Structures are given as structure tokens and as C-alpha cells.
């Protein structure tokens, strides 16, 4: 399934960063996606994955083993570099400053989550504007829907995993119900789109 707007949705080189939100059922889907991204990807990929605080080290080491790109946990005041994959540290909201550096906060949970997908997406939309791609994958709550709205309103590209394919359809469906989504795609097509727009 694909939902394309009437306006131009960008072309190769138009985008500077990708933000991804994923929750329940995400490890397998992220594995498929991150292991297939090319080593010459020019955009940073910044991810909020809901999980338990004890999962932190495993997450980074696992994806470093299977990805062609460097994978790390985002750090306070770290400059965002192209061609890298960053994960929000569990237990912290991940923000992006105007100068394209990370900031971490332990503010109240948003949508019962810290890190929150909405928090990342909203500040990424402020920082990157129309040069941002937002991707929302499987999950069992509605975190990310409001953030996707922010990305759309700032001119960015909104991409949602097809709920029929998602292990947990609630999160992608919440975005579809509340936001103008440019693409509703299975994970294989999301990968192809990211590579095409690189």
C-alpha cells in the first residue's frame, strides 16, 4: 500500500537525516533494515527504540555486528555525523539542537515512554525542516504520531510501515489516522526508498 501526496516529495540529495521510531516487535524489523543500508549512506540515521534499561549494551553491539555503518549510542553535545546510526540511550529523551548536536534529558515520560519517539521527531523537525525523513515502524502504542505531524508540517517526508506487515500495528496505524503520510510501505520498500533518496 502506498499513499502519495500531490506535491513533490523530494529527490536524491534533498534529505539530510533520517529519524526512526520503533517499539514492540522492532528488533527483527530493525535488523532487516539496518543490515541492508549501504556503507556509503550519506545521511545519519537516528533511532528511538522503546525497551528496557538493561537492553542498552546488547542493542548497540548487536547492530554493530550486522550493519555496514557504525552504530553507537547518542551522547550529550555529540556532533551528528553523516553515515552513522545513532540510538537514543534508554531512560533518556533524545533531542537534536539547531547546531545538529544531541542533547539528553530525563524529563517526564511522553506517551509512557522515555525515550519518546514524539520528542525526537519534533525536535528533529525543528532542526532539519524539509530535509528530514521520518520513519515509524511497528509498535503497540501511539508514540510517534504527533512527531510525524511535526515532520509533515515542517515539510519533511513521512514514511510509515504498512500496518498489515507490522508485528504490532497500533503505532503505524495511529500515524496514518492522524497525519498526512506520504508513504505507507512494507519494510523492503522503505529500505529501497531510503537508498533512492540518499
Mark whether 182 is an active-site residue: no
Determine contact, residues 40/12, Cβ cutoff 8 Å: no
Pick the catalytic residue from 16, 93, 118, 143. 143
Give the distance, in angstroms, between the CA of residue 96 and the centroid of all CA atoms in the same chain.
13
User: What cell does 1 get?
Assistant: 500500500
Pick the catalytic residue from 16, 50, 67, 150. 50
Mark whether 40 is an active-site residue: no
Mark whether 162 is an active-site residue: no
d(CA 146, CA 176): 11
Catalytic residue IDs = 23, 50, 143
Amino acid at each position: 500500500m502506498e499513499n502519495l501526496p500531490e506535491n513533490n516529495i523530494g529527490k536524491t540529495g534533498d534529505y539530510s537525516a533520517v529519524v526512526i521510531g520503533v517499539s514492540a516487535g522492532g528488533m527483527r524489523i530493525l535488523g532487516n533494515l539496518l543490515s541492508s543500508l549501504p556503507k556509503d549512506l550519506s545521511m545519519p540515521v537516528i533511532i528511538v527504540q522503546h525497551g528496557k534499561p538493561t537492553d542498552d549494551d546488547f542493542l548497540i553491539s548487536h547492530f554493530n555486528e550486522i550493519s555496514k555503518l557504525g552504530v553507537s549510542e547518542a551522547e550529550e553535545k555529540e556532533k551528528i555525523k553523516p553515515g552513522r546510526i545513532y540510538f537514543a540511550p534508554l531512560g533518556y529523551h533524545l533531542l537534536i539542537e539547531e547546531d545538529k548536536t544531541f542533547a539528553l534529558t530525563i524529563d517526564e515520560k511522553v506517551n509512557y515512554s522515555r525515550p519518546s519517539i514524539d520528542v525526537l521527531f519534533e525536535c528533529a523537525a525543528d532542526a532539519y525542516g524539509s530535509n528530514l525523513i521520518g520513519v515509524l515502524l511497528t509498535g503497540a502504542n501511539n508514540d510517534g504520531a504527533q512527531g510525524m505531524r511535526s515532520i509533515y508540517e515542517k515539510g519533511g517526508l513521512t514514511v510509515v510501515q504498512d500496518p498489515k506487515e507490522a508485528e504490532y500495528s497500533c503505532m503505524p496505524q495511529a500515524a496514518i489516522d492522524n497525519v498526512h503520510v506520504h508513504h505507507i510501505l512494507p519494510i523492503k520498500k522503505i529500505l529501497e526508498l531510503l537508498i533512492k533518496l540518499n
